[in-house]
Amino acid sequence: MARTKEFDRDEAVRRAMVVFWEQGYEATSTDDLLRAMGIGRQSMYDTFGDKHGLYLDALRCYQTEYGANMAECLRSQPSPLAALREFLLSIPGATPKERARGCLSVNATAEMAHTDPEVATVLKSSGALGLGMLERIVREAQHKGELNPKLDARVAASFLLTTIGGLRLGAKAGTPPDTLRAVVDFTLAGLKSQ
């Protein structure tokens, strides 16, 4: 038997995730990561292979954490539409720092999706997860009479995912929260009136 790891792998990934989230992949150096994770260089290479492997783990971590957060938010209200609204409003409702940081998946898509197949794969599964949750909430809303049952729930979910991406992008670009809130209401009004 041998020595046991001194650091918590999950915690280390979570800290690396924040750095990648704030700075992007290319702009982040391994030193940045090591400092944030509080571990030695060799530990990082032993545990994650290389910077790229760590990035993939960070993306998966984000997907898990953020997916859980989204699921929770969408289940927080008895009314599906109200829950959806609350989720959408969480984007303009975030702190300025959070809004500037944006969404790691959006950032990764813009930076890496077209050149890095492994990243693209992780992002695809992440998108599918979100799409599934949105489709479910739309169906629930239809079932409860909050939305037109003739709506194609899958298309509506794609539409919502598109809007969410756009809102996150807008938040990062510095669009004022009030404008983003107006867009949320406009989006939901369009959904309801169809």
Partner DNA sequence: TTGATTCTTGACTGAACAATCCAGAAACAG
Partner DNA sequence: CTGTTTCTGGATTGTTCAGTCAAGAATCAA
Helix (H, G, I), strand (E, B) or coil at 24: coil
Residue 95 contacts which entry, DNA, a copy of itself, none (Cβ below 5-8 A, type-dependent) = none
User: Of the two residues 76 and 194, which places its CB atom closer to a copy of itself in the complex?
Assistant: 194
Site string for a copy of itself, 71-100 (x = CB under 8 A): -----------------------------x
- Looking from the CA of 121 toward its CB, the CA atoms found within 13 Å total 5
Residue 67 contacts which entry, DNA, a copy of itself, none (Cβ below 5-8 A, type-dependent) = none
Amino acid at the residue 11: E
Site for DNA in 34-73 (CB under 7 A): 39-43, 45-46, 50-52
Site for a copy of itself in 115-154 (CB under 8 A): 115, 120, 123-124, 127, 152
User: Of the two residues 75 and 124, which places its CB atom closer to a copy of itself in the complex?
Assistant: 124
For residue 172, state whether it binds a copy of itself (rule: CB under 8 A): yes
Report angle CA 144, 145, 151 to the nearest 5 degrees: 110
For residue 97, state whether it binds DNA (rule: CB under 7 A): no
CA neighbor of 138 nearest in space, from 146, 129, 128:
146
Residue 131, C-beta contacts closer than 8 angstroms, at least 6 positions apart: 154, 157, 158, 161
Contacts 24+ apart (CB under 8 A), 136-140: 136/74, 137/74, 137/80, 137/83, 137/84, 138/80, 140/80
In the chain the first and final C-alpha atoms are separated, in Å, by 65
Contacting residues toward a copy of itself, per CB under 8 A: 22-24, 26-27, 100-102, 106-107, 109-111, 113-115, 120, 123-124, 127, 152, 155-156, 158-159, 161-167, 169-170, 172-175, 179, 182-183, 186-187, 189-191, 193-194
Write out the residues near DNA by the rule CB under 7 A. Answer: 1-7, 28-31, 39-43, 45-46, 50-52
